Amino acid sequence: MKFEKGIKMLIVSSYPPRECGIATFSNDIVNAVKKVFGNTLPIEVCALQSNEHHFRYDDEVKYILPVSSLDNYRLVAEKINERNDIGLVCIQHEFGLFGGEYGDYILSFILALNKPIVTVFHTVLPNPDEKRKKVVHAITDLSDQIIVLTKKSQEILINFYDCPISKTIVIPHGTHSILWEQKKKLKTKYGFNNRIVLSTFGLISQNKNIETVLNALPEIVVKYPDVIYLVIGKTHPEVIKREGEKYRETLINIVKELHLENNVVFIDEYLELKQLLEYLTLSEIYLFSSKDPNQAVSGTFAYAMSCGCTVISTPIPHAVEVLVNGNGILLKHFEKPDEFKQAIQHLIENKEERIAMAKNAFLLAHATTWENIAIQYRLLFDQLTNREEDLRFNFPPIKLDHIEKLTTDYGILQFSKFSLPDPESGYTLDDNARALINMILYYKIYPDAGVLKLANIYLNFIEGIQQDNGLFDNYKNFEHELTKQNEEVNLEDANGRALWSLGTVIAHREILPIEMVLRAERCWNKSIERINNIVSPRAIAYALKGLYNYYSAYKSENIKTNIEQLADKLLNHYNINSEENWCWYEDYMTYANNVLPEAMMYSYLVTKKQKYKKIATITFDFLLSHYFMKGQLKVISNRGWFKKENERKFYGEQPIEVATTIVALDLFYEITRNKKYKEQLKLAFMWFLGNNHLKQIMYNPENGASYDGLEDTHININQGAESTLCYFKARLIMEKYAEEKS
């Protein structure tokens, strides 16, 4: 089938403003795909609607399918068939959404469609009767791919419905990103500072079995009167239709009988997402009390974990799969108040264990953020429509939030625990030099007094850590004292970075306050006296970048001589270590490798000596040949350096290496106008956006930080200064390419 270039995905589902878990799920997918891919993957919606409801939908809803009339399924399918720009139809399947026995009307729709079809099964029940089995088997047979949300659902589909494993793929329920440190602030905001908050949320029905939790509370609140249990959510619309508020009234009566009025709060609203996430984030413990042993998956459960709640759950399949290895407490039975009582009491009395479980859940949930789920849907879309070559990402907005949070009045802190700055990690010259460079480059594009204030803090730190002899120390603790690390670690690289940062300030003297430039020049003049003492290749490279920047402001012959001397040192390293199949400056590759050919190219720009340009190009192309593989960037692992006589290790990739690759590619493209460098630059940045071996984003969309490392099976979601500053600089560079068409 031939599709137009801007082909779309059509989602068939219930959809907001309809109040329904599947509607929310589909809306989250639409929003996430738009956020991650922009207009490179447009999505339209075919909204499922029953006769008694007539909603006003947003613009993405292009079709409405009344589910109770069999004829409508065929008619809507035929309208979709007329569209050459719809490349894939994604059906969100829940038995109760469609008309007929076991929702078999959907088969008429699928049979009439002539588009590739993906069906997402939200419920997969074991031990089906013959009719249910036939309906599900027909759907799986007629669909090109089946998505399930848990491994258990996949097993049931294969074992009970004879679905080929090759047709199934597990894409978990998505979750929303939150910042860990918000928990304390939100308790204050909602007036729960001195309370132990338990919560449950979702559309209320008997299946939620909330009375089990209520019956567990009396003894707990006697011992811990500060406990408060939030029951968040309206009664399910289908329940309202059948029986009104009978179940909620039953729960309210139980609260009165058990004298829990001061400890249970019903929030009878369909909350906006932001407020819902705030309630979950401030909750210490999330209680999942469903009595349905076949409930395959729960969005409420997933959201709670992603908000850093410690979850106590009955043993639904989703919980059995996820609540392992200290991620929460899995109960053995359904409808057992005593089990809930013991588990709640245990978590109240063991705060450290409770927090550890919450952190484990928070870590686990990172892989399922909606941005990451959007990537999974996009990859499947590309595969089924043969458009793998068209993968394009939106550039996230540039955010200073995390940099500002890491910065005290003294400097930028070194590490974070998740997104929470860690004062015990202290300060380094390395990070403050990086931060100073970034703020100058940012100020050049977006002049702002707040950015200058940050830049001054980082420059103050650099001034304060310089010795009288012009050299720099690197490490200070939170009390602003030099640490023993300065005596134990080679400080050459840090000294080189300091020169680079000072040179950057001086190079931008036309746009910066004169007082700031003069301070940088004073530091520079003390430091430059030691320039010829530098011997390590990276320190030489950083110093060369500083010298190039200084030379752009002051065309000094002495500086030009310094550049030649250092470039020759680097050239000497190359001549000693290079071989026919090893075009490099050392007999191994470590970190920030790109700064070496980059520095050689800067040396050429000042001296115009072709030998520097030649070696810069040879070594850079050699490096890139080891970095770009099968449409992805794979940088040197921090688990073991790449030695020329050894096999290379993979995984353990860090943002510094990706960012320095982007910085160098930008320079080489500017000078050579060789399009391969521009294409590789864009591909390298896609590493942050999810084009990596885990297919997960490497940046935090909430605060503009970068995660610290891409491991073999997971992401290290701590957000330290080095990672965040490297990502920030790479993102700044991409501003030049944001509007370009590939």
Give me the pLDDT at residue 740, please.
61
| Separation CA 58–CA 45 (nearest Å) | 10
Residues 6+ apart with CB under 8 A from 551: 559, 560, 563, 606
Position 245 pLDDT exceeds 60: yes
Which of 74, 15, 3 shows the shortest CA–CA distance to 46?
15
Q: What strand order describes the sheet that includes 420-428?
A: 413-417, 420-428, 475-476
On the CB side of 271, how many CA atoms lie within 13 Å of its CA?
A: 17
Which residue ranges make up each domain of the chain?
8-170, 182-368
Residue type, 558: N
| Separation CA 146–CA 168 (nearest Å) | 5
Q: pLDDT band for position 154 (50/70/90)?
A: very high
Give me the pLDDT at residue 203, please.
86
| Separation CA 105–CA 73 (nearest Å) | 7
| Separation CA 229–CA 232 (nearest Å) | 9
| Separation CA 210–CA 215 (nearest Å) | 9
| Separation CA 15–CA 25 (nearest Å) | 9
| Separation CA 549–CA 508 (nearest Å) | 9
| Separation CA 577–CA 586 (nearest Å) | 5
Q: Convert 471-509 to b/e letters by CB count within 10 Å (16 or more is b).
A: bbbbbbeeeeeebeebeeeebbbbbbbbbbbbbbbbbbb
Position 405 pLDDT exceeds 70: yes
Helices (H) and strands (E) in the chain, counts: 28, 22
Q: Residue 536 carries which DSSP code?
A: S
3-state SS assignment for residue 733: helix
Q: What is the DSSP string of 102-127?
A: GGTTHHHHHHH--S-EEEEES---SS
| Winning range, highest mean pLDDT, from 274-283, 316-325, 499-508 | 499-508
Give me the pLDDT at residue 197, please.
96
Which of 313, 310, 305, 208 shows the shortest CA–CA distance to 266?
208
Dihedral sign for Cα atoms in the order 586, 588, 593, 594: positive
3-state SS assignment for residue 731: helix
Give per-residue pLDDT as tens, 670-702: 999 999 999 999 999 999 999 999 999 999 999
| Separation CA 277–CA 304 (nearest Å) | 8
Across 191-195, 461-465, 586-590, 658-662, least confident range: 586-590
Q: What strand order describes the sheet that includes 168-170?
A: 61-66, 43-49, 8-13, 86-93, 117-121, 145-148, 168-170
Count CB atoms within 10 A of the CB of residue 612: 26
Q: Encode 74-85 in three state secondary structure.
A: HHHHHHHHCCCC
Q: What angle do CA 602, 678, 680 make, to 5 degrees?
A: 100
| Separation CA 65–CA 59 (nearest Å) | 16
The answer to whether 267 and 279 are in contact (CB under 8 A) is yes
Assigned architecture for domain 182-368 = 3-Layer(aba) Sandwich (3.40)
Q: pLDDT band for position 1 (50/70/90)?
A: very low
Give per-residue pLDDT as tens, 309-338: 999 999 988 888 889 888 899 999 999 999
Tell me the CATH number for domain 8-170. 3.40.50.2000
> 580 exposed, middle or buried (CB, 10 Å; 0-12, 13-18, 19+)?
exposed
Q: pLDDT band for position 440 (50/70/90)?
A: very high
204 CA to centre of own chain: 31
- Main-chain dihedrals φ then ψ at residue 204, nearest 5 degrees: -80, 135
Give per-residue pLDDT as tens, 4-16: 556 899 999 999 9
| Separation CA 624–CA 535 (nearest Å) | 25
Q: pLDDT band for position 390 (50/70/90)?
A: low
Mean pLDDT of 477-505: 96
Give me the pLDDT at residue 742, please.
37
Give me the pLDDT at residue 19, please.
86
Two structure tokens written together for 720: 């330290």
User: What angle, 0 to 180 degrees and rounded to 10, lies between the N-to-C axes of helices 449-464 and 514-528?
Assistant: 30
Mean pLDDT of 137-152: 95
pLDDT over 70 percentage in the chain? 97
Q: What is the DSSP string of 206-262?
A: GGG-HHHHHHHHHHHHHH-TTEEEEEE-PBPHHHHHHHTTHHHHHHHHHHHHTT-TT
On the CB side of 376, how many CA atoms lie within 13 Å of its CA?
A: 21
Q: Convert 397-426 to b/e letters by CB count within 10 Å (16 or more is b).
A: eebbebbebbbeebbbbbbbbbbbbbeebb
Give me the pLDDT at residue 282, please.
95
Give per-residue pLDDT as tens, 27-68: 999 999 999 998 889 999 999 998 777 889 999 999 999 999
Q: pLDDT band for position 387 (50/70/90)?
A: confident
Give me the pLDDT at residue 3, please.
43
User: What angle, 0 to 180 degrees and rounded to 10, lies between the N-to-C axes of helices 610-627 and 655-672?
Assistant: 130
Two structure tokens written together for 243: 């029986």
**Stated length of the chain:** 742
> 179 exposed, middle or buried (CB, 10 Å; 0-12, 13-18, 19+)?
buried
Give, for 177, the enclosing helix (H) or strand (E): none
Mean pLDDT of 303-311: 93
Q: Radius of gyration over alpha carbons of the chain, in Å?
A: 30
- Main-chain dihedrals φ then ψ at residue 265, nearest 5 degrees: -125, 125
Domains 8-170 and 182-368 share a fold: yes
Dihedral sign for Cα atoms in the order 433, 437, 442, 443: positive
Give, for 467, the enclosing helix (H) or strand (E): none
| Separation CA 686–CA 624 (nearest Å) | 16
Q: What angle do CA 437, 439, 441 make, to 5 degrees?
A: 70
Q: What region does 127 belong to: left with phi over 0, alpha with psi -120 to 50, or beta?
A: left
3-state SS assignment for residue 517: helix
Report the predicted TM-score, pTM, of the whole model to 2 decimal places. Answer: 0.91
Q: Encode 327-356 in three state secondary structure.
A: CEEECCCCCCHHHHHHHHHHHHHCHHHHHH
- The set of long-range contacts for 277-281, using a CB threshold of 8 Å and a minimum separation of 24, is 277/176, 277/178, 277/303, 277/307, 278/182, 278/186, 278/189, 278/190, 279/190, 279/199, 279/201, 279/230, 279/232, 280/199, 280/201, 280/304, 280/307, 280/309, 281/178, 281/182, 281/183, 281/186, 281/307, 281/308
172 CA to centre of own chain: 15
Between 724 and 636, the more confident residue is 724
- Main-chain dihedrals φ then ψ at residue 233, nearest 5 degrees: 135, 150
The answer to whether 385 and 118 are in contact (CB under 8 A) is no
Dihedral sign for Cα atoms in the order 145, 147, 150, 153: negative
